Structure 1
Amino acid sequence: MYLSDEAIRDLNTLAGWLALDDLSARETLNPELLILAGHAIMPNIIGALDLAAKTGIPVLLSGGIGHSTTLLQQAVKQDPLTATIETEGRGEADILGEIAHQVFAIPWENIEIENRSTNCGQNADFSRDTLLAQSSIPATILLVQDPLMQRRTFESFQHSWRQKNLTSRFINWPVFVPHVVKVDDSLVITGGQRAGIWTIERYIAMILGEVKRLRDDETGYGPAGAGFIDHVDIPDAVENAWRRLTANNKLLVSVR
């Protein structure tokens, strides 16, 4: 695939905005819970669980069988650190739970499994309801998701919490912020320190799709569209980059 320098800059602008990162701006951090929503980006998963293991933060793992489940199963089997984990027929949270316990020695009493959700909105609602059932709503929650889905996940959790008048503070951590660079004639996605990230075609498709969902219009997830999230202000630089990329017919054809 060929990408112009402008297209690469635009993709990096969008990725930097989507991978919402509050952690890098904080010197101290005292979350009561880490919520890891199911996905298939192994460097992100490994980084989140490693932090939980080293700090003792309890974890809530959210995700049943959804769009990313097959990709997660494949990524787990391809990573030497997790290759022995049984994935067949299991949902995302159950797989992540085994990684947390077997690889990082996180005790089961520090792991909560929510394995019914099949999309981002349900990740939020079912995680919320799991905590409400325990009468245990943390004041501060570290929220981790696929970097390209981090902003939408945050908006979904904020929206879900507001429906029940809950006031937890979410600290977003995408673990890493991906960037595309051109090396000779190849396109490389950097940021993750392990194998197991996107193909370039899936990466571009996800970026364009995520911005589309966050737009508050008839095709988006905001109040003017599906109503899954509250209104999101999109910076001009992000909007302009998205418009240039979606006007690139050659690019769109290559990722279909």
Structure 2
Amino acid sequence: MILTPQNIDHLNTISPWLAVNDVHGEQALHADVAILAGHAVLPGLLGAFSRLAATDIPLLLSGGIGHSTELLKSALHTVQVNSDASSEAQLLADAAVQLCGIRADQLIIEDQSRNCGENAAFSRRALLTRELAAQRIIVIQDPLMQRRTTETFRHEWQRQGQQADFISWPVFVPQLVLQDGQPLIAGAASQQGLWAMDRYVSMVLGEVRRLRDDKEGYGPLGLGFIGHVDVPHAVEHAWQRLMAEPELAALVR
């Protein structure tokens, strides 16, 4: 796969919109609970754990066995996490305790969800079971899935007649840069554990398709997994230009 400078510009138009960020710089984290949905982007995971370890905010880890489980196992192996867990939530719990010093009693484990919708539904139930009245909730996910995940949580709470303020925190916002003529993912504290480039492009393009409110999307006009999302004109234009290239469009899952 060859990315032209124009392709990179288009991808860089889309990625900050996907990685919607309500936590800027090193501002203090204030929330009743943080929910981290299972994924395998190592700099985001370790960045979240490190910041949250310095707080008393409960951290709910959500994830059973899904699309990212094997990727997560591989990523944690590279940083020598010792775990024989099978679920993403327990793998993440072991990483949080071993690498970042998070207290085990700060963690809530939800290890049954298999997708984004179940992350939201099962996390809500886990909070209810613990009678944790959460009005301000930080949502953490793979940065490229951050907007859709936050919208999914918001939709689930509204569907159940509950109110909460959701703070979207991708930990970092990825951008592509050219280094020695080759595209490189920038923005993270480390290059270790980032996306392969074809996966990055696939996710950027696939997430826009899912967020567009049409028959192929996840909004009310499609599958109904989230509420209506307005896609900015610049993002729509960039997505259309990228999807017009067969090699890139073929990456979309």
Q: Same fold (TM over 0.5)?
A: yes
- Which residue number corresponds to residue 40 of structure 1? 40
- Which residue number corresponds to residue 225 of structure 1? 222
> What percentage of aligned pairs have identical amino acids?
47
- Which residue number corresponds to residue 186 of structure 1? 182
Partner Cα distance (1:123, 1:215) in 2: 21
1:214 alignment partner AA: L
Partner Cα distance (1:42, 1:58) in 2: 20
Give the counterpart of 1:203 among 194, 200, 203.
Answer: 200
Partner Cα distance (1:219, 1:12) in 2: 23
How far 1:25 moved relative to its partner?
8.1
Partner Cα distance (1:66, 1:207) in 2: 19
Q: Is the 8 A contact 2:140 2:171 kept in 1?
A: yes
How far 1:142 moved relative to its partner?
1.2
- Which residue number corresponds to residue 52 of structure 1? 52
How big is each residue's C-alpha offset from its partner over 1:202-234, in whole Å with a ceiling of 9 and x where there is no partner? 000011100100011110000111000000010
Q: Is the 8 A contact 2:201 2:251 kept in 1?
A: no
Task: Please list, as runs of the form range in 1=range in 2, the aligned pairs for 1:215-254 lying within 5 A after superposition.
Answer: 215-253=212-250
- Which residue number corresponds to residue 104 of structure 2? 108
How big is each residue's C-alpha offset from its partner over 1:145-178, in whole Å with a ceiling of 9 and x where there is no partner? 0000000000000000011211111111101000
Q: Is the 8 A contact 2:81 2:99 kept in 1?
A: no
- Which residue number corresponds to residue 10 of structure 1? 10
**How many residues are paired up?**
252
Partner Cα distance (1:127, 1:145) in 2: 14
Partner Cα distance (1:33, 1:123) in 2: 15
Q: Is the 8 A contact 2:36 2:62 kept in 1?
A: yes
How far 1:34 moved relative to its partner?
1.1
1:185 alignment partner AA: G
TM-score (norm 1): 0.94
Q: Is the 8 A contact 1:137 1:168 kept in 2?
A: no
How big is each residue's C-alpha offset from its partner over 1:62-110, in whole Å with a ceiling of 9 and x where there is no partner? 000000000000000112xxx13214x5110000111122222222221
Q: Is the 8 A contact 1:202 1:255 kept in 2?
A: no
What 5-or-longer segments of structure 2 have no aligned partner?
Answer: none
TM-score (norm 2): 0.95
- Which residue number corresponds to residue 77 of structure 1? 77
What 5-or-longer segments of structure 1 have no aligned partner?
Answer: none
Structure 1 pair 221–253 and aligned structure 2 pair: CA distance change class (3 A):
closer
Q: Does 1:137 align with 2:133?
A: yes
